[in-house]
């Protein structure tokens, strides 16, 4: 009972895994289980038949019986072979489908999470969970099924043969067996700890590798190779040490078991010798007993080790469920409704927001953004400009107050309808692996080729695209590395153009473009913003000149707002920023 309670957490995890993943694959597992029962039955039969073989050969010596026995042995092993095939085949197929299904689920959950989740979880951690943990789920189910069906049933069958054929001898084995199991269980606890650490170290390796790949320019230009190498070597050695510790523990269990089994067999031979030579027992029953004992060794070993093997997999399953159960940082209300179309007014109504408790970024913030106009946000770095865009996109929810689109609270709207209304052009343009066409079409999935090209033309991107080796079918490389900064920006404008959303949010790039790119970009932007509610985080004088209204922020407060000329005349913060060319 004590052990039962101690391992309830593991049992709960396994029960949940079976509930969530085993049921849908009942057919595959059903066939595998039936096959396993056949394998177990045939194993038992092969031990049982030894008694007939020995007795027929040594006592009755009838040749017709020999034929029969030979045929029976052949049949036993043919059936066992077919059943073993069916068992592995169906087990693997069901297992692979579980991996795929878990990976889809894990990914869906990760996608659903808000930005905060991504800030607090490293991508390396996510990758490890996506790959290792799904595999662990399959391994655990495989192990539970094979151990508790095939091995357990085989073991019970073989033990029955032993007890029926030689009750006294069986006693010897029943004393040694539990001793071995006790020894193995002691090792259990240590393996669990080490495995958990090993997972973390693998995560470290992935992280260092990613940082090296993504930050290769910084690594090279600052000569950080040694520092990176040190980190990587440390992570690699950690994994090596842990793998070695696990290997030592695992290596220890087999020989201990084997030695004990050998001793048991020696004892059995001794006692059985006496029984046959002096006790008048048939050699057949002794042979059946010894065969059953030898055959029982493997399944007994696996069952004794099942908890150790489960420990490794359970760690992965636990991590997988942790991810699945992590509350969504940003969820749609159950009664969420789509936002209705409107002129495109955005209003902050008494909004208070902080990323971390106690560090208020916006406090009782009120602001109305006029529909169809261009509003420029300016202010020193850290004044809350990006935060405003984050809240409008509902990347975060404010702790207090509301954000309204044409008088509709966005926290009551469906996320899809909210995102539909918005096109966002970020400071660093992000391109996905794929062609130019693919990257622009991400703005609106069902757009035709002609619409994509029209958008590219409006974004002043068409000319350079047709000049590329394969035009619109040119691969852009990982994160668009094959294109220049200006080209990437124009592709992202084309993407936003294609989306044709009511509201445009623009985080202006701070990096300087060359004069020609800048002119093309400006022109493209003008087309995009015409007649649309646009909020732009402005870093350039030319942008503020273009804006209808300028909102000046400082420490999360609106300190000034109005048209460029009026603000300059006031001689406040705006005038100072303007003199410094706005660039924070």
What mask of x and - would describe binding to ligand ADP in positions 386 to 425, judged by CB under 6 A? xx--------------------------------------
Q: How far apart are CA 443 and CA 446, in angstroms?
A: 9
Q: How far from the centroid of its chain's Cα atoms is residue 119's Cα?
A: 16
Q: Using alpha carbons only, what angle is made at residue 142 by residues 140 and 147, rounded to the nearest 5 degrees?
A: 95
What mask of x and - would describe binding to ligand ADP in positions 99 to 128, judged by CB under 6 A? --------------------x---------
Specify the 3-state DSSP secondary structure of 584: coil
Q: Would you say 50 or 551 has its CB closer to ligand ADP? A: 551
Q: Would you say 116 or 478 has its CB closer to ligand ADP? A: 116
Return the DSSP state at 473.
Answer: G
Choose which of 169, 287, 361, 452 interacts with ligand ADP (CB under 6 A). 361
Q: Would you say 353 or 472 has its CB closer to ligand ADP? A: 353
| Nearest approach, Cβ of residue 551 and ligand ADP (Å) | 11
Choose which of 28, 95, 344, 384 interacts with ligand ADP (CB under 6 A). 384
Q: Would you say 10 or 386 has its CB closer to ligand ADP? A: 386
Site for ligand ADP in 337-356 (CB under 6 A): 355-356
Q: Would you say 196 or 554 has its CB closer to ligand ADP? A: 554
Picking from 531, 530, 455, the residue whose alpha carbon sits closest to that of residue 493 is 455
Site for ligand ADP in 139-178 (CB under 6 A): none
Q: Would you say 132 or 383 has its CB closer to ligand ADP? A: 383
Specify the 3-state DSSP secondary structure of 545: helix
Choose which of 267, 372, 382, 562 interacts with ligand ADP (CB under 6 A). 382
CB 472 within 8 A of CB 484: no
Q: Looking at 33-41, 91-99, 305-313, 381-389, which segment touches ligand ADP (CB under 6 A)?
A: 381-389
Q: Would you say 317 or 544 has its CB closer to ligand ADP? A: 544
Q: Would you say 384 or 486 has its CB closer to ligand ADP? A: 384
| Nearest approach, Cβ of residue 555 and ligand ADP (Å) | 9
**Size of residue set near ligand ADP by CB under 6 A:** 12
Q: Looking at 147-155, 161-169, 374-382, 431-439, which segment touches ligand ADP (CB under 6 A)?
A: 374-382
| Nearest approach, Cβ of residue 1 and ligand ADP (Å) | 49
| Nearest approach, Cβ of residue 560 and ligand ADP (Å) | 15
Return the DSSP state at 279.
Answer: T
| Nearest approach, Cβ of residue 390 and ligand ADP (Å) | 7
Q: Would you say 342 or 382 has its CB closer to ligand ADP? A: 382
379 is an interface residue for ligand ADP by CB under 6 A: yes
Q: How far apart are CA 518 and CA 310, in angstroms?
A: 60
| Nearest approach, Cβ of residue 529 and ligand ADP (Å) | 20
Specify the 3-state DSSP secondary structure of 552: strand
| Nearest approach, Cβ of residue 507 and ligand ADP (Å) | 8
Q: How far apart are CA 305 and CA 185, in angstroms?
A: 8
Q: How far apart are CA 364 and CA 383, in angstroms?
A: 15
Q: How far apart are CA 259 and CA 266, in angstroms?
A: 11
Q: Using alpha carbons only, what angle is made at residue 382 by residues 379 and 387, rounded to the nearest 5 degrees?
A: 90
Q: List Cβ neighbours of 312 (8 Å cut-off, separation of 6 or more).
A: 136, 139, 191, 195
How many C-beta atoms lie closer than 10 Å to residue 81's C-beta? 12
| Nearest approach, Cβ of residue 385 and ligand ADP (Å) | 4
Q: How far apart are CA 271 and CA 273, in angstroms?
A: 5
Cα torsion 349, 372, 451, 418 to 10°: value is 10
Q: How far apart are CA 250 and CA 188, in angstroms?
A: 10
Choose which of 147, 170, 285, 383 interacts with ligand ADP (CB under 6 A). 383
How many C-beta atoms lie closer than 10 Å to residue 330's C-beta? 17
Site for ligand ADP in 244-263 (CB under 6 A): none
Site for ligand ADP in 179-218 (CB under 6 A): none
Q: Looking at 14-22, 172-180, 300-308, 375-383, which segment touches ligand ADP (CB under 6 A)?
A: 375-383
Strand pairing report for 557-562 and 408-409: unpaired
Q: List Cβ neighbours of 15 (8 Å cut-off, separation of 6 or more).
A: none
Q: Looking at 12-20, 274-282, 337-345, 383-391, which segment touches ligand ADP (CB under 6 A)?
A: 383-391
| Nearest approach, Cβ of residue 330 and ligand ADP (Å) | 13
446 is an interface residue for ligand ADP by CB under 6 A: no
Q: How far apart are CA 323 and CA 107, in angstroms?
A: 10
- What distances in angstroms separate CA 56 from CA 258, 285, 322, 546, one per listed residue? 32, 12, 61, 105
Return the DSSP state at 60.
Answer: I
| Nearest approach, Cβ of residue 395 and ligand ADP (Å) | 9
Specify the 3-state DSSP secondary structure of 337: strand
Q: Looking at 44-52, 76-84, 384-392, 527-535, which segment touches ligand ADP (CB under 6 A)?
A: 384-392
430 is an interface residue for ligand ADP by CB under 6 A: no
Instruction: Lay out the sheet containing 346-354: strands in order across.
Output: 360-369, 346-354, 400-405, 408-409
User: What is the gyration radius of the CA atoms in the chain, in angstroms?
Assistant: 35
Choose which of 381, 446, 481, 581 interacts with ligand ADP (CB under 6 A). 381
Give residues in contact with ligand ADP (CB under 6 A).
119, 355-356, 361, 379, 381-387
């Amino acid at each position: 009972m004590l052990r039962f309670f101690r391992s309830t957490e593991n049992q709960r995890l396994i029960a949940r895994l079976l509930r969530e993943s085993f049921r849908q694959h009942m057919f595959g597992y059903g066939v595998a289980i039936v096959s396993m029962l056949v394998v177990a039955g045939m194993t038992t039969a092969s031990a049982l038949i030894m008694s007939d073989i020995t007795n027929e050969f040594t006592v009755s010596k009838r040749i017709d019986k020999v034929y029969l026995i030979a045929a029976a042995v052949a049949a036993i092993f043919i059936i066992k072979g077919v059943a073993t095939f069916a068992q592995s085949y169906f087990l693997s197929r069901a297992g692979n489908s579980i991996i795929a299904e878990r990976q889809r689920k894990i990914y869906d959950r990760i996608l659903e999470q808000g930005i905060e989740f991504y800030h607090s979880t490293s991508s390396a951690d996510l990758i490890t969970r996506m790959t290792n943990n799904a595999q662990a789920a399959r391994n655990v189910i495989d192990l539970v099924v094979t151990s508790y069906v095939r091995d357990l049933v085989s073991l019970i069958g073989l033990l029955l043969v032993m007890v029926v054929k030689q009750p006294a001898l069986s006693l010897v084995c029943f004393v040694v067996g539990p001793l071995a199991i006790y020894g193995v269980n002691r090792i259990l606890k240590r393996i669990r700890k080490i495995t958990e650490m090993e997972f973390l170290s693998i995560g470290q390796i992935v992280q260092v590798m990613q940082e090296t790949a993504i930050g290769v320019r910084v690594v090279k230009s600052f000569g950080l190779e040694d520092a990176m190498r040190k980190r990587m070597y440390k992570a690699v050695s950690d994994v090596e040490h842990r793998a070695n510790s696990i290997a030592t523990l695992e290596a220890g269990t087999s020989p201990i078991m084997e030695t004990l089994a050998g001793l048991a067999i020696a004892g059995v031979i001794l006692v059985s010798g006496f029984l046959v030579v002096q006790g008048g027992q048939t050699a057949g029953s002794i042979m059946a007993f010894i065969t059953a004992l030898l055959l029982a060794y493997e399944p007994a070993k696996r069952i004794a080790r099942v908890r150790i093997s489960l420990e490794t997999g359970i760690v992965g399953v636990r991590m997988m469920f942790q991810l699945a159960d992590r509350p969504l940082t940003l969820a749609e209300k159950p009664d969420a409704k789509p936002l209705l179309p409107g002129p495109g007014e955005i209003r902050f109504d008494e909004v208070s927001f902080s990323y971390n408790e106690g560090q208020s970024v916006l406090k009782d913030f009120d602001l109305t953004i006029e529909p169809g106009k261009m509003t420029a946000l300016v202010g020193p770095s850290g004044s809350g400009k990006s935060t405003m865009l984050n809240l409008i996109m509902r990347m975060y929810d404010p702790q207090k107050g509301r954000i309204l689109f044409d008088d509709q609270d966005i926290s009551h709207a469906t996320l899809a309808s909210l995102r539909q209304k918005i096109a966002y052009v970020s400071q660093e343009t992000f391109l996905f692996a794929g062609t130019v066409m693919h990257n622009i079409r991400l703005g609106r999935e069902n757009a035709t080729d002609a619409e994509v090209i029209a958008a590219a033309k409006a974004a002043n991107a068409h000319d350079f695209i047709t000049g590329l080796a394969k035009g619109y079918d040119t691969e852009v490389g990982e994160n668009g590395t094959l294109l220049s900064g200006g080209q990437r920006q124009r592709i992202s404008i084309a993407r936003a153009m294609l989306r044709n959303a009511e509201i445009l949010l623009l985080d202006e790039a701070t990096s300087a473009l060359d004069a020609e790119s800048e002119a093309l970009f400006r022109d493209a932007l003008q087309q995009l913003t015409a007649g649309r509610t646009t909020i732009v985080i402005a870093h350039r004088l030319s942008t503020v000149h273009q804006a209808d209204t300028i909102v000046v922020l400082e420490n999360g407060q609106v300190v000034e707002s109005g048209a460029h000329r009026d603000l300059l005349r006031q001689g406040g913060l705006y005038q100072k920023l303007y003199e410094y060319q706005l660039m924070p």
